[in-house]
Amino acid sequence: MKYYVLIVLLVFMCFGFAQKCDDVFLGELRDFHDNTPLNGATVFIKNLNKYVASDERGKFKIENLCKGELILVISHIGCETKRITFNIDGDMFQNIALEHHIEELNEVSIAATVERKETKTSQETIIKSETLKRYSNLSVGDALKEVPGVSSINTGSTIVKPMINGLHSSRVLIMNNGVRLQDQEWGIEHAPNIDVNIANQISVIKGSGALAYGGDAVGGVVVINPKRIIRLDTIYGRTLIGGQTNGRGYNITSTLNKNFSSGWFAEIQGSSKRNGDLKAPNYTLTNTGLDSKGVSARLGKLNFESGFEIYYSFLDNEIGILGASHIGSVFDLERAINSGQPFLVEDFSYEINAPKQEITHHLAKLNYYKRYKNFGRLKLQYDYQHNQRLEFDVRIGDRREIPAIDLTLQTHSILADVNLDSNLNRKINFGVIGRFQDNFANPDTGVRRLIPDYNKYDFGIYTTVEYVVNNRLIADAGLRYDFNRIDAKKFYRKSRWDERGYDEDFSDIIIDETPTQYLTNPVFDYHNISASAGINYSINESQQMLLNYSLASRPPNVAELFSDGLHHSAARFELGDIRFDQEISNRISASYIYSTSKLNLSTEIFYNNIRDFIYLRPFDFISTARGPFPLWEYQQTDAELFGIDLTINYNLTDNWQFVNKTAYLKGNDLGTDMAIIDIPPFNTTNQITYNNESWNNFSASLKSEWVFKQRDFPDFNFEVEDELNEEMILVDISSPPPSYHLLHFYSEATFILSEKTNLNISLGVNNLLNAAYRNYLNRLRFYADELGRNITLQLQLNY
Amino acid sequence: MKITYLNLNSMKSTKFFMSAIICLALTNTFTSCSDDDDPDPVLEEEFITNLTLTFTNTADATDAVVLFSTAPDGFEDGTSTENILGTFTAGATYSLSLEILNEQEDPADDVLNDDIIPEADEHFFAYAVNGINLTMTRDASDVAGPDGSKLGVNTTWVAGAISNGNLQIRLIHEPTTVDDSDEFGSATGGSEDFNITWTGVVIL
């Protein structure tokens, strides 16, 4: 009996284990972007070790499949091979999409030196990492001067603010890896808080054509991007060590990247930079030391269909300001201007004392994107910034260690951006952004707040279209609306309130009072419309023309509205006006580019008309118990700027190259018919380079820099009375310094150490002839000369 | 035959994201991440609003010259106005007494006796005249200043021949060096807490 049961059981078990392999798999292959069927794709069935091809409708059929896992590896010309696993449990029909755009494959290309421009019809110049490494020991503002038409407004040599076609501060937007920098940029002595070493590529866009970044870029936009991620299993990085003779400075920066083919990536980067007192040809510039430290990290996963990134960066700067520039009175200023020498010159030291700035900046970003078939890509981003700025003046007694300015600025932004690029000939982009900002001015400084506590709310919505008309002509246009609300709480001295006549229009903003002050709550709303339209026309293979018109609208910043007090270290009063309207800029530009293998020529011309242009000028005096102080008032006028920027790159032979960069700019105040203050004078640089690839890629270049004397400047000179001696003293703050010529030398070579490692050594000498000169765009030009000779040696290991 | 369809919920996800964005964008305009308390006014130290120089004739107490300087918003950065009461008598000797107050406080803060004299080694008064025949000496009883000098609080003035001109007083805080050998006094470095000149001072 037992045997019979066993046999029956075995028979049943046989039936149970017998696999019925008759399932069918029907697949349909389509292009992800435009849903066209993929004909002739190869489908490799791993389980069966068999190949099958898709037909002209993208369909393929696999028969006699067993239940369980089915692994397919699908490939097609121009597509990335896709591996998919399915679980077969009966007949199955699947739509499978393959990514089929060659242009998009640039994201996964290795060692691609493709220049990815941000805009198509704006005047945009890209500075690449090979050039940026020369500025590793300097600042972003210095690196940007590689572009003709871009200069800087400085407070000494270590505080460098980029200036695009004569415009700076709130008129220049800076983007750090997709985050708009919010770091009290309204201040003329506030350099951008960004470590130049995090940048792999910087795009400088003149004008406001890049509407996605903002509608208020009256001057332009600087877009700083880190290295693009490649989807390969690889680990790479670089370490750079440098030293400079001027200021006995040293700097080190290191980056390490790990990428995975699955799309995961991680990057960590750090920099440290230090120099002591810098030196002009004839004396030490006492108290110009700098101590800067930064760290940044990125982590995320990037796939074609979706991805995310977490980014964090931290920067800590301690910047000494020339000791001789601290003045207590306008008489000190006059003495400084007339003596021609700084009154305070001490031996070299690394110590940084007052006057100085201490700034920390945290930036964190989280973004996510997803691509949808037949639609496009959606990106979501949240970013947060925390900026704390302490400015120390030379102070007496107990207040010696207390800063005179203590501002904490926090900004939250959230944005959503959609790119509709399923049709490559007509790309549409639209997005919304919301931002909240909080500024806290600490009263513990014991100094009346230069700018008040405020909350700022921004909302923006934009759309841009890029239309490929034919293979020669691309047109683009954009429109943007921004709403800004500023809600401040500010103390006004009753005497100032009456003097400004605010009682007539603003008595309703007073919320409290003390015996001598009113506490007010101004809340201002601004509605801004900005737009841009342009064409990019290829005349023929070697000639190209760009035309662009853009409209930008910039609301007044907090300094322009609320400045109200003595700027101690500058010995001047600064006064804003809450009646200001926003600036409206209409800018037209044209560029002509001629490009052959021997010669590259680029001419950029623009005209910018700015209605309600805001600027600061000395206007009157305040007679205080400490003497007379000039009163600088913000003014609103109509202005126009016009300029031409030229670049010529000529390859004399295979080894010799000549480069010329020239910029000419004119700025007029249409209201007063005077020139605008701080317009960069005409400048031209000529550079000759020898390079020889067979000598370890050696190159040496000599650059001649000519900066002419600015002859168009407003006369803001004033006279002040020395009451004791009954003398009128002329204070000449307007006359620009004479023209100057500098010679610079640079050479480098790259030694290949192994397949993936190379060592780049560079030697540079700035101001080779140790010429003594002053720069009109340096606010400290009254007190001391610019830097003398500086020899820099840098070693960069790439691995 | 079973047919399984892959569920592509792309349109649903898009709608979700769009509403999420708009939601977040709107909430941003209404929420405020900081406290809405009013800010505190800044407390400025060593705040001065009034300076009075009283010259009293040592032989006749009714003969006095008073020089005023007032700045209701403070000496640091407020507008100041100067006034003169009386004229000097030629040949007479005067004793000068100083009064430095902060009248924004009630009762008024005596800055001279509460802040300056206790820190006498960090302060120095320097005087100057132009056009007017006045000479001065720092009294033997004067408060000791920095580096063995005399602070300049207790001083005696002699009016010479009939003349008129300007008189200046400066208060230097933390001077680098001081020199009172010419009695009027001079200093280098430091920072001026005030520098006031009266014009049209008269000796009759």
> What value of ipTM does the predicted structure carry?
0.80
Helix (H) or strand (E) holding A331: helix A330-339
The Cα of A470 is separated from the nearest Cα of chain B by a number of Å equal to 32
Q: How far is A334 from chain B (nearest CA, A)?
A: 16
Q: Look at residue B42 and tell me whether its pLDDT is greater than 60.
A: yes
Task: Give me the pLDDT at residue A739, please.
Answer: 97
Give the residue from chain A lying closest to B119, CA to CA: A397
Note whether A627 contacts B195, CB cutoff 8 Å.
yes
pLDDT confidence tier of residue A104, bands split at 50, 70 and 90: very low
CA distance B204 to chain A (A): 20
Q: Which residues of A touch B194 (CB under 8 A)?
A: 625-626
Q: Do A625 and B78 touch (CB under 8 A)?
A: yes
pLDDT at A19: 59
Q: In terms of Cα–Cα distance, which of A292, A258, A260, A259 is closest to A275? A: A292
What confidence tier does A47 reach under pLDDT thresholds 50, 70, 90?
Answer: confident
| Count of CB atoms situated within 10 Å of the CB of A773 | 19
| Minimum CA–CA partner of A22 in chain B | B1
> Is B26:B62 a contact under the CB 8 Å cutoff?
no
If asked whether residues A61 and A147 sit together in one domain, one would say no
Backbone angles phi, psi at A502, to 5 degrees: -70, -20
Is residue A44 situated within a structural domain? yes
Contact B75 A626 (CB under 8 A): yes
Q: In the structure, what pLDDT confidence band is assigned to residue A329 with cuts at 50, 70 and 90?
A: confident
Lowest mean pLDDT among A56-65, A272-281, A599-608, B133-142: A56-65
Q: Would you call B195 and A329 a contact, using CB atoms and an 8 Å cutoff?
A: yes
B173–A396: do the CB atoms touch at under 8 Å? Answer: yes
Q: Is the pLDDT of residue A511 over 70?
A: yes
| Any domain includes A607 | yes
In B, minimum Cα distance to A444 occurs at B42
Contacts of B26 in chain A (CB under 8 A): 434
B6, B25, B44 member nearest A95 (Cβ):
B6
Do A213 and A234 contact (CB within 8 A), yes or no?
no
**Structural domain tally of chain A?**
2
Judged by CB atoms closer than 8 Å, whether chains meet at A629 and B17 is answered as no
| Among candidates A329, A399, A516 on the partner chain, residue whose Cβ is nearest the Cβ of B45 | A399
CB atoms within 10 A of CB A641: 23
Confidence class for position A7, pLDDT limits 50, 70, 90: low
Are B195 and A398 in contact (CB < 8 Å)? no
Residues B55, B58: Cα–Cα separation, whole Å:
9
Instruction: Give Cα separations from A17 to A12, A133, A454 (angstroms).
Output: 9, 68, 76
A residues 84-103 near B, CB within 8 Å? 89-95
Closest C-alpha among A314, A302, A312, A478 to residue A383: A312
Which of A90, A436, A519 is facing B2, going by the closest CB pair? Answer: A90
Q: What is the pLDDT of residues A296-319, one digit of tens each?
A: 999 999 988 899 999 999 999 999
Q: Residue A137's pLDDT is what?
A: 93
For A128-161, how does the pLDDT look when each residue is reduced to its tens digit (9 = 90+)?
998 999 999 999 999 999 999 999 999 999 999 9
Is the pLDDT at A111 greater than 50, yes or no?
no
Look at residue A57 and tell me if it is in a domain. Answer: yes
At A587 the pLDDT is 96
Residues A605 and A646 sit within 8 Å (Cβ to Cβ): no
pLDDT at residue B182 above 70? yes
SS3 A546: strand
Q: What is the pLDDT of residues A541-570, one digit of tens each?
A: 999 999 999 999 999 999 999 998 888 778
Nearest by CB: A443 against B13, B28, B42: B42
User: Is there a contact between A514 and B4 if contact means CB atoms under 8 Å apart?
Assistant: no
CB contact (8 A) between residue A565 and residue B174? no
Mark yes or no for CB contact A516/B29 under 8 Å. no
Yes or no, beta carbons of B195 and A378 under 8 Å apart: no
Q: Test A625 with B51 for CB contact under 8 angstroms.
A: yes
Interface check A452 vs B, CB under 8 A: yes
Which pLDDT score is estimated for B156? 95
- Two structure tokens written together for A155: 């407070």
Q: Do B25 and A445 touch (CB under 8 A)?
A: no
Q: What pLDDT was estimated at residue A11?
A: 53
Mean pLDDT of A188-206: 94
Do residues A35 and A182 both lie within one domain? Answer: no
Closest chain B residue to A490 measured between Cα atoms?
A: B39
Q: Using a CB–CB cutoff of 8 Å, tell me whether A625 touches chain B.
A: yes
- Is residue A734 within 8 Å of residue A715, measured between CB atoms? yes
A286 and A425 share a domain?
yes
Nearest to B173 by CA among B128, B115, B105, B130: B115
Q: Is residue A109 part of a domain?
A: no
Q: Are residues A93 and A199 in the same domain?
A: no
pLDDT in tens, B72-85: 888 988 899 999 99
The β-bridge partners of A730 are: A719
Segment (H or E) for B197: strand B191-203
CA–CA dist A407, A360 (Å, integer)? 11
Asked which of A4-18, A396-410, A542-556 is least confident by mean pLDDT, the reply is A4-18
- For residue B1, what pLDDT band results from cuts at 50, 70 and 90? very low
> Which residues of chain B make contact with A326, given a CB cutoff of 8 A?
none
- Check whether residue A583 and residue A490 sit in a common domain: yes
pLDDT one-digit tens code per residue, A73-101: 888 877 777 888 888 888 888 888 887 65
Q: For residue A294, is pLDDT > 90?
A: yes
Judged by CB atoms within 8 Å, which residues 478-497 of A form the interface with B?
A: 485, 489, 491, 493, 495
Question: What's the pLDDT at A779?
Answer: 92
**A515 contacts B104? CB cut-off 8 A:** yes
Contact map slice: A 548-607 vs B, CB within 8 A: 565-566, 573
Q: What's the 3-state SS for A622-646?
A: EEECCEEEEEEEEEEEEEEEEEEEE
Q: What angle do CA A120, A125, A131 make, to 5 degrees?
A: 145
Q: How far is B153 from chain A (nearest CA, A)?
A: 18
Q: Measuring CA to CA, how many Å separate A56 from each of A28, A84, B18?
A: 10, 21, 37
Q: Please check whether residues A178 and A61 belong to one and the same domain.
A: no
Give pLDDT, residue B34. 44
CB of A386 within 8 Å of a chain B CB? The answer is no
Query: Average of pLDDT values for A683-697?
Result: 94
**A624: amino acid identity, one letter:** T
Interface probe with B: pick from A724, A725, A726, most Cβ of B within 10 Å: A724
pLDDT at A113 over 80: no
Same domain? For A87 and A150 the reply is no
A83 with A189, same domain?
no
Mean pLDDT, residues B107-121: 91
- Give B10's pLDDT tier (boundaries 50, 70, 90): very low
Residues from chain B that touch A329, judged by Cβ atoms under 8 A, are: 192, 195
Instruction: Give the pLDDT confidence score for residue A49 in this predicted structure.
Output: 81
User: Is A72 in the same domain as A146?
Assistant: no
A108 assigned to some structural domain: no
As a whole number of angstroms, the distance between CA A247 and CA B31 comes to 48
Distance from CA of B37 to the nearest CA of A (A): 10
Residue A726, by phi and psi: left (phi above 0), alpha (psi -120 to 50) or beta? left
Query: Among B29, B77, B168, whose Cβ lies nearest the Cβ of A566?
Result: B77
Encoding tokens for residue A32? Answer: 């992800």
Specify if A116 maps to a domain. Answer: no
Same domain flag for A432 and A567: yes
Which residues of chain A have a CB within 8 Å of the CB of B166? 723-726
Determine phi and psi for A317, rounding to 5 degrees. Answer: -125, 135
**What integer pLDDT is reported at residue A162 of this predicted model?**
96
Same domain, A56 and A146: no
For residue A64, give its domain range: 21-100
CATH number (domain holding residue A419): 2.40.170.20
CA A518 – CA A497 distance, rounded (Å):
8
- Cβ pair A794, A240 in contact under 8 A: yes
pLDDT of res. A105: 41
- The verdict on A84 and A153 lying in the same domain is no
Question: How close, in Å, is residue B203 to chain A by CA atoms?
Answer: 17
Q: What percent of chain A has pLDDT over 90?
A: 69
- Closest residue on chain A to B27 (Cα): A434
pTM confidence score = 0.83
Query: Residue A4's pLDDT band (boundaries 50, 70, 90)?
Result: low
> Is B40 strand, coil or helix?
coil
- Name the residue with tokens 């009762």: B107
How many CB atoms sit inside 10 A of residue A181's CB?
Answer: 20
pLDDT tens digits along A14-27: 444 455 788 888 88
CATH number at residue A71: 2.60.40.10
What count of CB pairs under 8 Å joins A to B? Answer: 177
Chain A residue with CA closest to B168: the answer is: A724
- A 290-349 near B (Cβ less than 8 A): 328-329
Quote the pLDDT of residue B98.
Answer: 95
Answer whether residue A469 shows pLDDT above 50: yes
pLDDT band at A454, cuts 50/70/90?
Answer: very high
- A73 in any annotated domain: yes
Report how far apart the first and last C-alpha atoms of chain A are (Å, whole number). 77
Does any domain span residue A146?
A: yes
Q: Which of B148, B139, B150, B137 is nearest to B184 (CA)?
A: B137
